[in-house]
């Protein structure tokens, strides 16, 4: 019996780190699946607790040069005495963000001083010695994280982006120090001993600035998940307990109203801005806000059993999942750093052996190659877009199961709708005298939106033809099939697929289960505890059909941004590395370009948080 859990990872800096953590965990007995995200710094692991414990997972990651944050409690009946892993990871990330900011500011100020001295006092031996010593202090003080990480990777027989930074900064300083101490090596050959201390300082400063901006942007992609978690009030109660919720306060449990009438804002869960009327006998959910009068609520689900907790878990799982294309990118990233080190070495040898006096130029070109190469942008291209897209969907009240589901939605060209509970209200107390049902107020608008997007809309129902035709006509649906059994819905979806259509099936997730399972995209409609979270690829919490075209639009935007990110990440490395090898890019400019490449990718993904 396997379980799937999310664990925060500490110490990852690039896509090469992701590959190493994944490979480390995947090799453990009892582990059946692993997905590690650089954007969220999370490892989603499916494993057999009878074979390997969470502590065992942690130890393996620690031995690999990183860290995994796990709960102290291993079994459901145990109570974890330590802090919540997510909260602990968040504190670590914020601490790292503050540290990066201070190092970036300090590094930029120090680098500016180094640059000024090198420009105006380069012919003074006294100032040159000061430059060497001061730059070494700057490198040690502000670049310690890169050298520490590079050494840690080396001890474990691996390399990552920090290795490239440490090599480039270290080589620049050591080469300059050698030229300062032994200038006769070059002057005896009629060459000038160049000093490049400013390159070491500026490379470090630009990389720190880029890493800080990147981490800050990455932190923004997970804002939706943090916002959802913060909806849960810090109120402890038991199932069956009755509590009073005053106006303006969040409801802390899933339960039923036993006394009072009020309007409740459920927008945080459903994305619907219109408050919902509540009276004795109606359900309320944790994280929603009581609006106009005091309600007395009997708790039915508390803590991790609430709908809100389920949504948080589902969003976290979805954000930790990987699109298929990302797995290919990860394979490239796994060998990226060793290949770049090899290219840098080859660059130096070609310059040194083929060009008279080319040793200095070869070193600068090799440093440029090490600095300008950027596996970070490759590793961030897909997950940042996925996380931002899934978070945006969750804010709208659409729960997307995984990254593939988000991408699949962009390619559909036919939508099959169940009638009862999807197009219509489906509640017995709202049945119209003329029509087992009445159309939802938003269904016609939703259908028109789908048709405007070029989607063919079908309605399937077990109702008689007369009733089905009336509902379809009112909803603006041109294609309707009536008097069908559940297996006929399955066959209808299959028929469309055989015609080459990409089909989305929208239903209640129960009697439509066969059709939902077969469809390219399955969307469950439902409220509260009736939501088919476990069966559908996406779930609309509010049962508002307008969310379906919203999902398709968001999917299209996400897919487009992923393609843009991957294009720029690949084209950047394809063009930048050869340019640096040819000596066309100054190492300081190379550092700035490398930093900006990752920031641009993440910033592009953050556009998905809007709209």
Residue 99: the pLDDT is 92
Q: Is 215 buried (19+), middle (13-18) or exposed (0-12) by CB count in 10 A?
A: buried
Residue 533: the pLDDT is 54
Q: Is residue 532 predicted with pLDDT exceeding 60?
A: no
Give the model confidence (pLDDT) of 413-422 as tens digits: 999 998 888 8
Question: For residue 37, what pLDDT band results from cuts at 50, 70 and 90?
Answer: confident
Distances (CA, A) of 247 to 233, 285, 496: 14, 15, 50
Cβ neighbours around 112 below 10 Å, total: 14
Q: Domains (ranges, CATH) in the chain?
A: 3-87 (3.30.70.100), 242-305 (2.70.150.10), 393-556 (3.40.50.1000)
Residue bearing the bigger pLDDT, 229 or 283? 283
CA-based R_g, the chain, Å:
29
Active site amino acids:
418
User: Percent of the chain at pLDDT above 90?
Assistant: 40
| Beta pairing class for 295-301 and 276-278 | unpaired
Give the mean pLDDT of 507-527.
80
Residue 122: the pLDDT is 67
Give the model confidence (pLDDT) of 111-170 as tens digits: 999 988 888 776 778 888 999 999 999 999 999 999 998 998 888 888 888 898 999 999
Distances (CA, A) of 94 to 105, 180, 212, 224: 17, 41, 11, 17
Residue 76: the pLDDT is 41
H or E segment and range at residue 519? none
Residues, the chain = 611
Question: For residue 199, what pLDDT band results from cuts at 50, 70 and 90?
Answer: confident
Residue 137: the pLDDT is 95
Residue 21: the pLDDT is 92
Q: Which two tokens stand for residue 26?
A: 């995947």
Distances (CA, A) of 231 to 287, 296, 511, 518: 5, 19, 33, 35
- Give the whole-angstrom CA distance, residue 1 versus residue 3: 7
Residues 6+ apart with CB under 8 A from 436: 420, 463, 467
Q: Is residue 433 predicted with pLDDT exceeding 50?
A: no
Q: Is residue 81 predicted with pLDDT exceeding 50?
A: no
Give the mean pLDDT of 178-205.
82
Residue bearing the bigger pLDDT, 272 or 344? 344
Residue 277: the pLDDT is 92
- Give the whole-angstrom CA distance, residue 152 versus residue 134: 26
Q: Is residue 445 predicted with pLDDT exceeding 90?
A: yes
φ/ψ (deg, to 5) at 15:
-65, -30
Q: Give the up-direction half-sphere exposure of residue 264: CA atoms within 13 A in the CB hemisphere.
A: 30
Give the mean pLDDT of 486-498.
89
- Give the whole-angstrom CA distance, residue 317 versus residue 301: 21
User: Quick check: helix, strand or coil at residue 33?
Assistant: strand
* DSSP class of 64: T
Give the mean pLDDT of 299-319.
85
Distances (CA, A) of 386 to 16, 218, 389: 19, 12, 5
Give the model confidence (pLDDT) of 235-271 as tens digits: 788 899 999 999 999 999 999 999 999 999 988 888 7
| Beta pairing class for 521-525 and 503-507 | parallel
Yes or no: say if 320 and 270 are a contact pair by the CB < 8 Å rule. Answer: no
Yes or no: say if 577 and 372 are a contact pair by the CB < 8 Å rule. Answer: yes
H or E segment and range at residue 118? helix 85-120
Residue 229: the pLDDT is 83
Residue 509: the pLDDT is 59
- Is pTM, for the whole model, over 0.85? no
Residues 6+ apart with CB under 8 A from 540: 397, 398, 523, 524, 525, 526, 547, 548, 551
Choose among 80, 203, 590: nearest CA to 374: 590
Q: Is 517 buried (19+), middle (13-18) or exposed (0-12) by CB count in 10 A?
A: middle
User: Quick check: helix, strand or coil at residue 209?
Assistant: helix
Average model confidence (pLDDT) across the chain = 86
Give the model confidence (pLDDT) of 349-397 as tens digits: 999 998 887 888 899 899 999 988 877 788 888 888 988 899 899 888 8
Give CB contacts under 8 A, 24+ apart, made by 115-119.
115/198, 115/201, 115/202, 118/195, 118/197, 118/198
């Amino acid at each position: 019996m396997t379980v799937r859990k999310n664990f925060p990872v500490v110490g990852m800096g690039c896509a090469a780190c992701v590959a190493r953590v994944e490979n480390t965990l995947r090799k453990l007995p009892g582990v059946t699946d692993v997905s590690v995200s650089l954007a969220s710094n999370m490892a989603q692991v499916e494993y057999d607790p009878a074979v390997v414990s969470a502590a065992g997972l942690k130890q393996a990651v620690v031995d690999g040069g990183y860290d995994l944050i796990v709960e102290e409690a291993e079994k459901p009946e145990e109570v974890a005495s330590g802090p919540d892993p997510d909260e602990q990871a968040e504190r670590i990330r914020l601490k790292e963000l503050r540290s990066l900011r201070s190092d970036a500011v300090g590094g930029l100020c120090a680098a500016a001083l180094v640059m000024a001295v090198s420009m105006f006092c380069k012919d003074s031996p006294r100032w040159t010695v000061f430059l060497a010593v001061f730059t070494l202090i700057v490198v040690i003080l502000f670049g310690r994280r890169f050298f520490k990480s590079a050494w840690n990777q080396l001890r474990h027989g691996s390399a990552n982006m920090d290795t490239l930074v440490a090599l480039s900064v270290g080589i620049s300083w050591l080469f300059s120090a050698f030229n300062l101490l032994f200038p006769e090596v070059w002057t005896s050959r009629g060459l000038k001993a160049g000093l490049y201390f400013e390159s070491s300082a500026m490379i470090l400063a630009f990389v720190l600035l880029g890493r800080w901006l990147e981490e800050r942007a990455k932190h923004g992609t997970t804002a939706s998940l943090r916002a959802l978690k913060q909806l849960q009030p810090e109120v402890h109660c038991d199932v069956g307990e009755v509590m009073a919720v005053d106006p303006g306060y969040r409801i802390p449990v899933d339960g039923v109203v036993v006394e009072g009438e009020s309007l409740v804002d459920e927008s945080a869960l459903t994305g619907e801005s219109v408050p919902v009327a509540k009276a004795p006998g109606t359900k309320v959910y944790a994280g929603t806000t009581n609006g106009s009068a005091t309600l007395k609520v009997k708790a039915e689900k508390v803590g991790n059993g609430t709908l809100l907790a389920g949504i948080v878990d589902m969003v976290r799982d979805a954000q930790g999942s990987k699109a298929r294309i990302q797995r290919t990118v990860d394979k490239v990233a796994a060998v990226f750093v060793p290949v770049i080190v090899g290219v840098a070495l080859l660059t130096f040898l070609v310059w040194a052996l083929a060009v008279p006096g080319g040793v200095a130029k070869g070193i600068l070109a090799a440093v440029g190659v090490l600095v300008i190469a950027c596996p970070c942008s490759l590793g961030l291209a897909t997950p940042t877009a996925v996380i931002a897209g899934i978070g945006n969907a969750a804010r709208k009240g659409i729960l997307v199961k995984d990254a593939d589901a988000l991408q699949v939605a962009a390619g559909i060209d036919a939508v099959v709708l169940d009638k009862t509970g999807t197009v219509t209200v489906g509640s017995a107390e709202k049945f119209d005298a003329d029509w087992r049902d009445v159309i939802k107020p938003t269904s016609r608008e939703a259908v028109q939106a789908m048709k405007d997007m070029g989607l063919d809309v079908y309605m399937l129902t077990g109702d008689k033809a007369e009733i089905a035709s009336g509902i379809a006509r009112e909803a603006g649906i041109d294609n309707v099939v009536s008097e069908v059994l559940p297996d006929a819905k399955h066959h209808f979806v299959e028929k469309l697929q055989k015609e080459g259509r990409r089909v989305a099936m929208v239903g209640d997730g129960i009697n439509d289960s066969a059709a939902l399972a077969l469809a390219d995209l399955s969307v469950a409609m439902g409220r509260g505890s009736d939501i088919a979270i476990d069966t559908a690829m996406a779930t609309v919490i509010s049962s508002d059909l307008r969310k379906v075209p919203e999902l398709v639009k968001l999917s299209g935007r996400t897919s487009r941004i992923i393609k843009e990110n991957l294009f720029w990440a690949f084209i950047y490395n394809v063009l930048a590395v050869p340019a640096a090898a040819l000596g066309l890019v100054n190492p300081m400019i190379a550092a700035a370009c490398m930093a900006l490449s990752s920031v641009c990718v993440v910033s592009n993904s953050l556009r998905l948080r809007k709209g």
